[in-house]
């Protein structure tokens, strides 16, 4: 009975040290969270398919749907409208929101000022 208890304690100790040993082997201090790459802001009114695909959770099909939606409905007025695009749900949108902007499309804006 005592031998089984000692074996369990030894195994638990070994498992507890593995994450820190693994992090040390990678040159990271134990317990340090990996920092995400600096996020860039993407204007969803002017972004290309390639720009959109650079966003987390946006693949080629969703990027194409965003471009199609923008072409049919005009520029986005607010970033929340992105959820109207099939494939962009609320959960994914909330992850993307800090990286999105909806700056005005210059061609339309300049044209309106002249009239």
Residue 91 burial by CB count (10 A; 0-12/13-18/19+): exposed, middle or buried?
Answer: exposed
pLDDT digits (tens, 9 = 90+) for 2-18: 565 545 655 555 445 55
> Are residues 60 and 10 part of one domain?
no
pLDDT score of 13: 54
Domain count, the chain: 2
> Are residues 78 and 46 part of one domain?
yes
Q: Could you tell me the two tokens for 15? A: 């498992």
What is the Cα Rg of the chain in Å?
Answer: 24
CATH, residue 59: 1.10.150.320
> Are residues 97 and 61 part of one domain?
yes
> Are residues 105 and 64 part of one domain?
yes
In terms of Cα–Cα distance, which of 71, 95, 99 is closest to 85? 71
Q: Which of helix, strand or coil describes residue 101? A: strand
pLDDT digits (tens, 9 = 90+) for 57-110: 999 999 999 999 999 999 999 999 999 999 999 999 999 999 999 986 554 444
> Are residues 101 and 78 part of one domain?
yes
pLDDT score of 72: 96
pLDDT score of 10: 53
pTM, two decimals, is 0.57
């Amino acid at each position: 009975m005592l031998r089984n208890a000692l074996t369990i304690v030894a195994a638990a100790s070994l498992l507890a040290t593995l994450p820190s040993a693994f992090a040390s082997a990678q040159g990271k201090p134990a317990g340090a969270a990996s920092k995400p790459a600096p996020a860039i802001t993407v204007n969803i009114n002017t972004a290309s398919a390639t720009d959109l695909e650079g966003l987390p959770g946006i693949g080629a099909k969703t990027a194409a749907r965003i471009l199609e939606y923008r072409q049919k409905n005009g520029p986005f007025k607010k970033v929340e409208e992105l959820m109207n695009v099939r494939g962009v749900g609320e959960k994914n949108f909330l992850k993307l929101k800090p990286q999105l902007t909806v700056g005005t499309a210059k061609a339309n804006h300049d044209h309106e000022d002249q009239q």
